[in-house]
Chains A and B, each alone.
Chain A
Amino acid sequence: MIRSPLRAGIALACALSLSACGGGDGDVYVGGTVTGNTKAGLVLTNNDGPRLEVPANQSTFLFPDLVETDATYNVKVVASPDNTQPTTEGGTDGCKVVEGTGTGKAVFSVTTVQVVCTLKTFPLTVRVNGTHAAGLEIVNGSDRKAVAPTDTVVQMTQIPEGANYGVAVLAAPGQTCTVANGSGTMDNVGKTVDLNCTTP
Chain B
Amino acid sequence: MKKSILALCALTVAAGLSACGGGTSSYTIGGVVAGLQYPGLVLQNNLVNDLPVTPLGADTNGNIQNVTYTFPNEVDYGEPYSVTVKTNPQHQTCVNSSGTSDTAGRLSSINAVIVCSLVTNTIGGTITGVAADGLVLTNGSAGGTVTVTKDATSGAYPTTFTFPVGVTYGQTYGVTVLTPPTGQSCTVTNGAGTMGDNKVETIAVTCANNP
Contacts and interface: CB of A to CB of B under 8 A. Distances in A.
Contacts of B173: 139, 141-142
Nearest to A193: B176
B176 A143 contact: no
Nearest to A178: B187
A144 B172 CA distance: 7
B141 to A, nearest CB: 5
B141 A163 contact: yes
Interface string B142-156: 110100000000000
Nearest to A186: B141
Interface in A129-175: 138-144, 159, 163-170
A interface, how many residues as a size bin?
20 to 34
Given A139-B140, A140-B141, A183 B178 contact: yes
Nearest to B170: A142
A64 interface: no
Given A164-B138, A168-B192, A170-B172, A141 B177 contact: no
Interface in B155-196: 167, 171-178, 188, 191-194
Interface residues of B, number: 21
A189 B173 CA distance: 25
A26 interface: no
Contacts, number: 73
Nearest to B179: A183
B193 A166 contact: no
A141 B139 contact: yes
A142 B167 contact: yes
Given A139-B192, A170-B194, A183-B177, A159 B172 contact: no
B174 A184 contact: no
A169 B178 contact: no
Given A139-B174, A141-B172, A164 B192 contact: no
B145 A141 contact: no
A41 interface: no
Contact of B140 (A165, A184, A185): A165
A123 interface: no
A170 B143 contact: no
Contacts of A163: 141-142
A170 B182 CA distance: 28
Given A166-B176, A170-B172, A183-B176, A141 B141 contact: yes
A79 B167 CA distance: 36
Contacts of A183: 138, 176-178
Closest 3 CB pairs of A and B: A141-B140, A166-B176, A168-B174
Interface of B: 138-143, 145, 167, 171-178, 188, 191-194
Interface of A: 138-144, 159, 163-170, 179, 182-186
21 contacts: A139-B140, A139-B192, A140-B140, A141-B140, A141-B141, A141-B143, A141-B173, A142-B172, A143-B141, A143-B172, A165-B140, A165-B141, A166-B138, A166-B140, A166-B178, A167-B176, A169-B192, A170-B193, A183-B177, A183-B178, A185-B178
